[in-house]
Amino acid sequence: GSLAELDTELVRCRACPRLVAWREETAAQPRAAFRGQEYWARPVPGFGPADAALAIVGLAPAAHGGNRTGRMFTGDASGDFLFAALHAVGLASRPTATDRDDGLELYGVRVTAPVHCAPPENRPTPAERRTCRPWLSAELQLLGPSLRAVVALGAVGWQALLPVLGETGWPLPRPRPAFGHGVRLTLPATGQRRELQVLGSYHPSQRNTFTGRLTSDMLIELLAEAAEAAGL
């Protein structure tokens, strides 16, 4: 199958009852600013070209962000922060993302998440994470031939990503290295896989950006390093 086929299949997934209910419930109660808009209210596929050299792995779509617009990181404050930084390093055609049809293009980058439906309080349960994991695994498998670097956003993204990379064929170091902003791992090439650089970054959530824990300069610097590692 192709990545486009995988995305079509993903959008029909109803495997997590609590998240199916939540994605529909938030759509039925739009924020005042979004009243009158039709929410996507389905699983949100990864965004970016099928031959991306760099993947950015977040946590899950936001109820009034990706769950509304149907595109990863599109239409919320975290996404505004991320796309501005991607644009600053030349990986996005424009600094803002408003909806699925805004014409934004990513260059060599695919933005995705280990959980594809918006969870209550942005917190998927361990069971939901396990249930959704094969989708990310399949996505990375399909990106495999072009993929050279991955950025994990936040400790949760890091913890979700490493086992998926292990399943996808890269040998993981033991013990697993702890998450940190700027932590970088090199997973060596194997028979079927080329060498992969894995970088940790603080998540561009408002909790981090409002407090200055993650500044745009920090994110730009990290994405520039990731782009270089990916040969972009």
> Which residues in this chain contact ligand SF4 in the complex, by CB under 6 A?
10, 13-16, 19-20, 43, 115-117, 128, 131-132, 135
In the complex, minimum distance from the CB of residue 113 to ligand SF4, in angstroms, rounded to a whole number: 9
Nearer to ligand SF4, 160 or 232 (CB): 160
Nearer CB in complex with ligand SF4: 10/199:
10
Q: Tell the smallest beta-carbon distance from residue 77 to ligand SF4 (Å).
A: 22
CA angle 91, 95, 97 (to 5 degrees): 105
β-bridge partners, 92: 106
Q: Nearest-CA neighbor of 133 among 153, 116, 150?
A: 116
Closest distance to ligand SF4 from the beta carbon of 211 (Å): 28
Beta carbon nearer to ligand SF4, 87 or 129:
129
Pairing state between β 109-112 and 149-153: unpaired
Residues 6+ apart with CB under 8 A from 221: none
Least separation in angstroms between residue 82's CB and ligand SF4 is 21
Which C-beta is closer to ligand SF4: that of 16 or that of 85? 16
Measured between alpha carbons, how far is 30 from 93 in angstroms, rounded to an integer? 29
